[in-house]
Amino acid sequence: MRKHWLIGGLAGVFALAGLAFVQGGGSQGGEGAEGPVESGQPIAFPHNQHAGSEPGQNNMDCQFCHFSAERSVDAGIPSVATCWGCHIAIPGTNNPQEVAKIQGYMERDEPIPWVRIYKISDHAHFPHMRHINAGLECQQCHGEVQEMEVLEKADEWWTPAKELFFGQDPVWGGDNMGWCVECHREPDENGEQQASTDCAVCHY
């Protein structure tokens, strides 16, 4: 009984440390001129505003910014100058303070330190151009990005809980080989496997 205050105290310290870490981890999402935004990204870039097809949204093609997807293993992310190319004249109506951050990066000749959302492990080599060439839509793997304001990884440890309790579809199969193999194994209209499941196709 006497020692419960000690145990409780230690538990409290750990919990506080844990919370501090979370806060710290969140704020490590990059520093813009005024600090990171809630999503952890340096600028609150809304994919839906740029790529969405709702009225008032800009309906841009994915490959306008992610330009190397059809030529390269890498999809590429837009250079700061690509953003600035439009935003030099477009202050934006929803979040002009976020748009203004771009100017800061251009002037400081500093790349925007985006937090990476979609990643496949280094021991697998994923060629974007082969998949685009095969007719896949970006959304098939990356989800309905054009409807998302904030991109989220789906392979966090709490994703199964979200699926189970809230019925949310995972955005992206993530670092999960099964996701890739499932599609590769699918038979095409001739009943043949539509893509190779030879290990060495991706792992070399």
Partner 1 sequence: MTDGIKRRDFLKVLGVTGAGATLTGCSEPERLLPYVVAPEEITPGVATWYTTVCDGCSAQCGMWVRTREGRAVKVEGNPNHPVSRGGLCSKGHATLQHLYNPDRFHGPMIREGDRLRQGTWDEAEQQLAAQIGAIGNVMFIGGRVGPSMSNLIDQFVTAIDGTRVQYDAVSDAPLLEAARIAYGEPGLPSYDVGNARLLLSFGNDFIETGSSPVAHNKGLAQMSSVDAAGSKGRFVYLGPRLSTTGLNADEWIPIRPGSEAAVALGMASVIAGDAGAAGPYADVLRSYSPATAAQAAGVSEDAIRELAERFGSDSPTLAMGPSAGGHHRNATAANVAVMILNDVAGNVGRTVHYDANVTAAASAYADMESAVSAMAAGQVGVAMVHGTNPAYSMPAASGFAEAFAQASFKVSFASAMDETAALADLILPDRHFLEAWGDSMPRQGVMALQQPVMQAVPHFDSKQAGDVLLAASAHLGNDLGSATFYEFMRAGHMEMHDASMGDFEVGWRQALREGAVEHEVAATATTQLQAPDVALSFDTPALDQGGDLTLLVHPSPRFGGGEFSNSPWLQELPDPVSKITWHSWLEMNGNTAEQRGIREGDIVTVTSPHGSVDVPVWIYPGIREDAVALAMGGGHTDMGRWANESGVNALGLLPSESEQPSGAMVTLATTVSVTPTGERRRIATIEGSKGDQHDRPIAPAVALADLGHAEEDEEGHGELQELQGVGGFVPVPGDGGAATAFPLEGAQHGPYAESHEIPRWAMAIDLDKCTGCSACVTACQAENNVPWVGEDQIVMGRDMNWVRIERYYEQIDATQAGDLDVRMLPMICQHCGNAPCEPVCPVFATYHTPEGVNAQIYNRCVGTRYCANNCPYKVRVFNWYRYTDENVPDPMNWQWNPDVTVRTNGIMEKCSFCMQRIREVENRAALEDGRGIRDGEIVPACEQSCPAEAIVFGNIRDENSRVSQVVSSERTYRVLDEILNTQPAVHYLKKVTFHEVATGGHE
Indicate the residue among 53 and 72 with the shorter CB distance to partner 1. 72
> CA-CA distance, 81 to 109, in Å (whole number)?
10
Q: How far is the CB of 28 from partner 1 (least distance, A)?
A: 5
> How far is C-alpha 190 from the geometric centre of its chain's CA atoms?
35
Burial class (CB in 10 A: 0-12, 13-18, 19+), 21: exposed
Indicate the residue among 56 and 200 with the shorter CB distance to partner 1. 200
Sign of the C-alpha dihedral computed for residues 28, 31, 35 and 39 taken in this order: negative
By C-alpha distance, which of 133, 155, 126, 134 is closest to 143? 155
Indicate the residue among 53 and 185 with the shorter CB distance to partner 1. 185
Q: Yes or no: say if 196 and 180 are a contact pair by the CB < 8 Å rule.
A: no
Indicate the residue among 59 and 197 with the shorter CB distance to partner 1. 197
Q: How far is the CB of 53 from partner 1 (least distance, A)?
A: 25
> CA-CA distance, 129 to 138, in Å (whole number)?
11
Q: How far is the CB of 14 from partner 1 (least distance, A)?
A: 4
Q: Which residues bind partner 1 (CB under 8 A)?
A: 1-4, 7-8, 10-11, 14-15, 17-19, 21-22, 24-26, 28-30, 40, 68, 71-74, 76-82, 105-106, 109-116, 119, 121-125, 127-130, 133, 157, 192-193, 196-201, 203-204
Q: How far is the CB of 204 from partner 1 (least distance, A)?
A: 4
